[in-house]
Amino acid sequence: MSLYDQYQKEVLEASLWLSEHGYFGSLRGTGGNVSARITGSDRMAITPSSVKYSDLAPTDICIVDFTGAVVEGKYAPSIEAGIHAAVYRERPDVNAVVHTHQLYGSVFAALGEPIPVLFDEVAFALGEKVEVASYALSGSAELAANVASLLANHANAYIIQNHGILALGKNMDKALLAAELLEKIARIYCLALSTGKPVSLLPDATREMARGLRDYDVEAARKKT
């Protein structure tokens, strides 16, 4: 039994759920990626590159360090491992990362427009706004740097321009929930905009409260490291 079994199983289960619910943009493709931080180390379990999720076994999930070096696994890790590593380095509160090509989130990726969170429960879970990381080629160091440049806002969801979305969580369940909530708010915002009427935004005080809660969570996690 490997030290990484529980992480590999968790990553695969999350990947299959996302694939089955259409979060990767296609049911037969290999888009998107999922990772989990290996507690107490600079390593993560992450999905491999270009292998259908339905064909994977838990032992096929790659173990890599934060430089991208493979520690265990027969497949090459996702080309977006650099983004996941950047998140784990900068955000001690994050233990799971989900990158998807979900439909409504991708609408705003194509527009290059941020999404206001609109509802207080979404604000408390995701942050005060879903920001946009500038486009760069998939798998590039530039793209990882573009994502990393936004992480200081302590949000749990981001849009990647002309690419997809990134959802973060203190555990895998929270990361999946962040992806769900982003899709919910993206769909509602898209439909609201289609009416041509003004969209009602959350009051500044509520958004500031959401920011304060996220800042507190991040700093609390930082003190434990």
Burial label, 32 (beta-carbon count in 10 A; 0-12, 13-18, 19+): buried
Count of structural domains, the chain: 1
Per-residue pLDDT at 1 = 64
Tokens representing residue 113 in the block: 């427009």
Identify the pLDDT of residue 216. 85
Q: What is the pLDDT of residues 168-220, one digit of tens each?
A: 999 999 999 999 999 999 999 999 999 999 999 999 999 889 888 888 888 88
- Give me the CATH number covering residue 204: 3.40.225.10
Torsion sign over Cα 8, 13, 19, 24: negative
pLDDT of residue 161: 98
| Catalytic positions, written as ranges | 80
The tens-digit pLDDT sequence of the chain (225 residues) is: 688 999 999 999 999 999 999 999 887 777 899 999 999 999 999 999 989 999 999 999 999 999 999 999 999 999 999 999 999 999 999 999 999 999 999 999 999 999 999 999 999 999 989 999 999 999 999 999 999 999 999 999 999 999 999 999 999 999 999 999 999 999 999 999 999 999 999 999 998 898 888 888 888 888 887
According to the model, what pLDDT value does residue 50 have? 87
Q: Please compute Rg for the chain using Cα positions.
A: 17
Task: Give me the domain span that covers residue 198.
Answer: 5-224
| Residue 158 · residue 128 · CB < 8 Å | no
